[in-house]
Amino acid sequence: MRLRISSLLTAVAALGLVASAASAHRQWMLPSSTIVSGDDVWVTVDAAVSNDLFYFEHQPVRLDNIKAWAPDGSEVKIENGATGRYRSTFDLHLTQKGTYKIANSGGGIMGSYKLNGEEKRLPRGTTAAQLATSIPAGATDVKLSEGWNRNEIFVSSGTPSDGVLKPTGKGLEMVPVTHPNDLVAGEQAAFRFVIDGKPAANLKVTVIPGGIRYRNALNEKNYTTDANGEVKVDWAEPGFYWLNATATDNKASIPNASERRLGYVTTLEVMAP
């Protein structure tokens, strides 16, 4: 019997918080290729939330918040965007040589309160500006938490470059030691994770190969970052992999929020030797 895991991802607006390895619904972006060559090249990206990596059967990731950056750091427009029942898709024209970053990042507020003895939840997508009007007068037992999620992928035209790999300093981020477009089966890769620009020690990192639909086990590998926020990952075979890290701390920027939930996701392509 095929593995099915029933717990649901708690979403924040169109972004959603990243699912842990034990959760069924995983958000991801999948490029048609991570390395391309030529003078006039494109990549097509699929974006979805699904149980099975990388298969369309739950819901699309909305395109509103997806942005892309060229190797020189300039923002690049995504083209030919479309959203269907189970996935979104868009194209990116790679007009510069080097590595591009495509990211869907942002946050929101989750919370609940009681009104007349009945527990209610904040509407999805509630922002800090809307918070005051989202909680009615007389509400009690107000519980708030802030979520910040980052879902990003990297694609290179020609030789990979490092410009877009620099962290923004906000939330949970991956700072590759091994370039994400230079991964080979049988060769170990290293990644560093930071929270607000500082090393994220003792962070749990999960790596799952695609193709869950066609096997009876996740085949996930779990890692823990060292004091410098680094993990070393071994690739058993070529293919696309989903990498996920999550963290919780008490550094929420929203007044009266008890915690901040951070998530990071990337899709990595591992080549054959």
Instruction: Say if residues 156 and 180 touch (Cβ distance below 8 Å).
Output: no
Residue 265, pLDDT > 50, answer: yes
Lowest pLDDT segment from 36-45, 67-76, 137-146, 150-159: 137-146
Identify the pLDDT of residue 5.
32
Mean pLDDT for the stretch of residues 28-51: 95
- Per-residue pLDDT band for 23 (boundaries 50, 70, 90) equals very low
Higher pLDDT, 130 or 78: 78
- Per-residue pLDDT band for 257 (boundaries 50, 70, 90) equals confident
What does the alpha-carbon distance between residue 193 and residue 167 come to, in Å, rounded to a whole number?
10
Instruction: Say if residues 268 and 180 touch (Cβ distance below 8 Å).
Output: yes
Q: pLDDT digit string (tens) for 176-213?
A: 999 999 999 999 999 999 999 999 999 999 999 998 88
**Residue whose C-alpha is closest to residue 45's, from 106, 90, 108, 87:** 90
Average pLDDT, the chain: 87
Lowest pLDDT segment from 75-79, 118-122, 201-205: 118-122
What does the alpha-carbon distance between residue 171 and residue 243 come to, in Å, rounded to a whole number?
16
- Per-residue pLDDT band for 24 (boundaries 50, 70, 90) equals low
DSSP secondary-structure letter at 7?
Answer: P
Residue 19, pLDDT > 70, answer: no
Residue 141, pLDDT > 90, answer: no
**Residue whose C-alpha is closest to residue 192's, from 209, 211, 182, 205:** 205
Taken in order 205, 209, 213, 216, the sign of the CA dihedral is: negative
Higher pLDDT, 16 or 89: 89
What does the alpha-carbon distance between residue 55 and residue 154 come to, in Å, rounded to a whole number?
20
What does the alpha-carbon distance between residue 237 and residue 65 come to, in Å, rounded to a whole number?
33
Residue matched to tokens 């990595």:
268
Structure-block tokens of residue 228: 């410098």
What does the alpha-carbon distance between residue 175 and residue 192 come to, in Å, rounded to a whole number?
5
What does the alpha-carbon distance between residue 161 and residue 171 come to, in Å, rounded to a whole number?
23
Number of H helices, E strands in the chain: 1, 19
Would residue 72 be called left, alpha or beta, if left means φ above 0 and alpha means ψ between -120 and 50 degrees? alpha
Structure-block tokens of residue 256: 């009266």
- Per-residue pLDDT band for 229 (boundaries 50, 70, 90) equals very high
- Tell me the β-bridge partners of 248: 261
- Tell me the β-bridge partners of 107: 148
Higher pLDDT, 137 or 40: 40
DSSP secondary-structure letter at 72?
Answer: T
Lowest pLDDT segment from 45-49, 171-175, 255-259: 255-259
Mean pLDDT for the stretch of residues 212-218: 87
Q: Distances from the Cα of 221 to the Cαs of 50, 113, 175, 270, in angstroms? A: 19, 38, 20, 15
Higher pLDDT, 72 or 218: 72
Mean pLDDT for the stretch of residues 25-34: 94
Give percent of the chain with pLDDT exceeding 70.
91
What does the alpha-carbon distance between residue 29 and residue 12 come to, in Å, rounded to a whole number?
17
What does the alpha-carbon distance between residue 231 and residue 45 come to, in Å, rounded to a whole number?
27
Give percent of the chain with pLDDT exceeding 90.
63
Mean pLDDT for the stretch of residues 137-160: 90
3-state secondary structure of 158: coil
Mean pLDDT for the stretch of residues 9-18: 37
Residue 11, pLDDT > 80, answer: no
